[in-house]
């Protein structure tokens, strides 16, 4: 083995310290900003206006996206503070040769943070909360009308087995990260899973790009502790392996019981996630997806319209009425889809149809049942008089539903 020169070792030690200080500050600031955005948002808005000359998209109200202008401003501030902190730290702590204790606590807390994130995201997939099966509206929507994110969400939610499988990978990664003996395996699994997630977010315009890339960075930082062991395993490196790794609690009474403590807290955390996911969020989603009596896709025929009110449709005719929830419907026009309220009262053979953003109105349509799955409606929306028939389609006409899984495929069924 080639002996390392003292000046090379000193240079590497300096670079290692600078890298650690930057990553410590950069990641710590990112996690802090996650929980204190309400506190720094005014500063971010000022930075956007004063430094970058931005006047729009500086809202402090969350929209559900993690890649807003304000989020990129937060990363900018995070990087500036990290670089400034490294410079100040290097000037103040020039004589400090080791960050052993700080590194230990940083890595330990970072590992637990990443583990918690992986468990939350994983169980959201296992309980089928994050992704659901494709809606009826998607069945009549052309692929070209979908957004890249909508296409990805449809793919992920199509088969619950696949969704649960990907969720279990995240769950196992989180569990492995909790315990020191399996933390390297957990970090490797996290890097693989979150690397795939980050690429998917980038390629399908899913607005969690910043967070997923930070998780990839965090997994690489966690793996940096074991770079000697990993290089030995993967590349057959002859570098000497560390004999005993430093543990800040090694000479305390807690050290011998730390496994039990982690086991108890892990069990409580898993119970909390399971309780919230399975007994609170999952039933709520199941109620939303409960099939209403008129559930289905209704094809429109004999459509007649009198009037020129754009409230009905700029395309002049309706193609489908899609009913998935009680008193709600999506109406598919020739080139668009719009959400409406649809309230059907069979007792008086009346229906109420009005746009989702409009105020409630009295029944404005007469509805007549022609067959078990066919209805005729006649009424008015605004100044437009409408008359049409709607017939419920057999959902098995859609290959996405009827094809199913087959072990044997004589030819590819790719449509």
Task: Indicate whether 414 belongs to any domain.
Answer: no
Q: Give pLDDT, residue 410.
A: 83
Question: Is the pLDDT score of 288 beyond 90?
Answer: no
> Which of 265, 290, 315 represents a domain boundary (last residue)?
290
The verdict on 228 and 248 lying in the same domain is: yes
Residues 152 and 282 in one domain: yes
Highest mean predicted confidence (pLDDT) among 132-136, 188-192, 261-265, 370-374: 188-192
Please indicate, yes or no, whether residues 191 and 321 belong to a single structural domain of this protein.
no
53-57, 206-210, 389-393: segment of lowest average pLDDT? 53-57
pLDDT at residue 269, rounded to an integer = 83
The number of beta carbons lying within 10 Å of the beta carbon of residue 286 is: 10
Across residues 30-41, what is the average pLDDT?
92
For residue 7, pLDDT beyond 50: no
- Least-confidence region, from 89-103, 204-218, 390-404: 89-103
pLDDT of residue 9: 46
Highest mean pLDDT among 87-96, 148-157, 300-309: 148-157
Q: Does 166 fall in a domain?
A: yes
Instruction: Name residues whose C-beta falls within 8 Å of residue 306's C-beta, 6 or more positions apart in sequence.
Output: 384, 385
Confidence band of 33 (pLDDT split at 50, 70, 90): very high
Least confident of 166-170, 176-180, 357-361, 400-404: 400-404
Structural domain harbouring 381:
296-397
Residue 404 lies in a domain: no
Instruction: Please give the pLDDT value at position 95.
Output: 65
- One domain, residues 260 and 309: no
Please answer whether residues 358 and 337 qualify as being in contact, where contact means their C-beta atoms are separated by less than 8 angstroms. Answer: no
Write the DSSP assignment of 50-102 as a string of letters. Answer: HTS---SS---S--S-SSSHHHHHHHHHHHHHHHHHHHHHHHHTTT----HHH
Tell how strand 328-333 and strand 296-306 pair up.
unpaired
2, pLDDT greater than 70: no
Look at residue 70 in the predicted model and tell me its pLDDT: 94
For residues 167 and 286, state if they share a domain. Answer: yes
Give per-residue pLDDT as tens, 371-385: 888 999 999 988 889
Burial of residue 149, with CB atoms counted within 10 A of its CB: 0-12 exposed, 13-18 middle, 19 or more buried: middle
Give the count of beta carbons closer than 10 Å to the beta carbon of residue 342: 22
Where b means 16+ CB within 10 Å and e means fewer, 267-281 reads eebeeebeeebeeee
Q: Which of 97, 126, 161 is the last residue of a domain?
A: 97
285 lies in the same domain as 361 = no
Mean pLDDT of the chain: 86
Measure the CA dihedral 397/400/404/405, to 10°: 150
Same domain, yes or no: 175 and 84: no
How much is the pLDDT for 257? Answer: 72
Question: Cα–Cα distance between 76 and 79 in angstroms, integer?
Answer: 5
Q: Look up the CATH number of the domain holding residue 360.
A: 2.40.128.270
Considering the domain architecture, whether residues 278 and 383 belong to the same structural domain is answered as no
Band of the pLDDT at 338, cuts 50, 70, 90? very high
**331: β partners:** 321, 338
Instruction: Over range 400-408, report the average pLDDT.
Output: 86
The 10s digit of each residue's pLDDT in 217-272 is: 999 999 988 887 787 777 776 655 555 566 666 667 666 677 777 788 888 888 88
pLDDT of residue 175: 94
Lowest mean pLDDT among 3-7, 127-131, 256-260: 3-7
Number of domains in the chain: 3
Same-domain pairing of 132 and 260: yes
Q: Tell me whether residue 374 is in a domain.
A: yes
Q: What was the pLDDT predicted at 371?
A: 84
pTM here is 0.84
Tens digits of residue pLDDT in 79-119: 999 999 999 998 887 666 667 888 888 999 999 999 999 99
End position of a domain, from candidates 242, 259, 290: 290
> Is residue 52 one of the residues assigned to a domain?
yes
What percent of the chain lies above the pLDDT cut of 70?
A: 88
Answer yes or no: do 5 and 145 share one domain.
no
pLDDT at residue 1 in the model: 43
Tokens of 150: 């909508």
Please compute the mean of the pLDDT values over residues 186-195 and round it to a whole number: 96
Q: In the predicted model, what is the mean pLDDT of residues 169-186?
A: 93
Q: Does residue 410 lie within any of the structural domains?
A: no
Residue 212 lies in a domain: yes
Asked if residue 47 belongs to a domain, the reply is yes
Same structural domain for residues 22 and 124? no
112 and 258 both lie in a single domain: yes
């Amino acid at each position: 083995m080639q002996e390392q020169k003292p000046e090379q070792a000193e240079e590497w030690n300096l670079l290692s310290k600078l890298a650690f200080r930057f990553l410590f500050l950069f990641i710590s600031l990112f996690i802090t900003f996650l929980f204190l955005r309400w506190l720094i948002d005014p500063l971010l808005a000022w930075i956007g206006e004063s430094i970058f000359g931005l006047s729009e998209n500086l809202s402090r109200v969350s929209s559900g996206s993690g890649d807003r202008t304000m989020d990129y401003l937060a990363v900018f501030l995070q990087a500036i503070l990290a670089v400034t902190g490294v410079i100040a730290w290097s000037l103040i702590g020039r004589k400090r040769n080791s960050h052993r204790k700080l590194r230990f606590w940083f890595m330990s807390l970072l590992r637990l943070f990443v583990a918690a994130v992986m468990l939350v995201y994983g169980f959201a997939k296992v309980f089928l909360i994050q992704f659901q099966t494709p809606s009826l509206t998607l069945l009549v929507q052309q692929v070209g009308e979908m957004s890249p994110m909508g296409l990805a969400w449809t793919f992920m939610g199509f088969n619950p087995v696949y969704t649960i499988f990907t969720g279990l990978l995240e769950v196992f990664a989180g569990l492995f990260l909790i315990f020191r003996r399996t933390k390297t395996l957990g970090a490797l699994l996290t890097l693989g899973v979150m690397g795939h997630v980050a690429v998917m977010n980038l390629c399908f315009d899913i607005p969690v790009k910043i967070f997923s890339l930070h998780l990839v960075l965090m997994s690489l930082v966690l793996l940096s502790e074991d770079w000697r062991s990993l290089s030995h395993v993967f590349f057959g490196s002859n570098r000497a392996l560390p004999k005993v790794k430093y543990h800040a609690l090694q000479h305390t009474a807690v050290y011998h019981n730390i496994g039990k403590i982690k086991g108890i807290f892990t069990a409580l955390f898993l119970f909390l996630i399971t309780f919230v996911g399975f007994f609170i969020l999952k039933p709520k989603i199941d109620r939303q997806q409960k099939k209403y009596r008129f559930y289905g896709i209704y094809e429109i025929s004999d459509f007649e319209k009198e009037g020129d009110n754009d409230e009905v449709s700029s395309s002049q005719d309706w193609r489908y009425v899609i009913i998935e929830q009680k008193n709600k419907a999506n109406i598919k026009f020739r080139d668009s889809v719009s959400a409406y309220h649809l309230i059907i009262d069979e007792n008086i053979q009346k229906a109420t149809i009005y746009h989702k953003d409009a105020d409630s109105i009295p029944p404005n349509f007469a509805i007549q049942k022609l067959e078990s799955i066919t209805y005729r409606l006649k009424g008015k929306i605004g100044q437009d008089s409408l008359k049409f028939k709607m017939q419920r389609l057999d959902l098995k006409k859609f290959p996405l539903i009827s094809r199913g899984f087959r072990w044997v495929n004589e030819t590819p069924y790719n449509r």
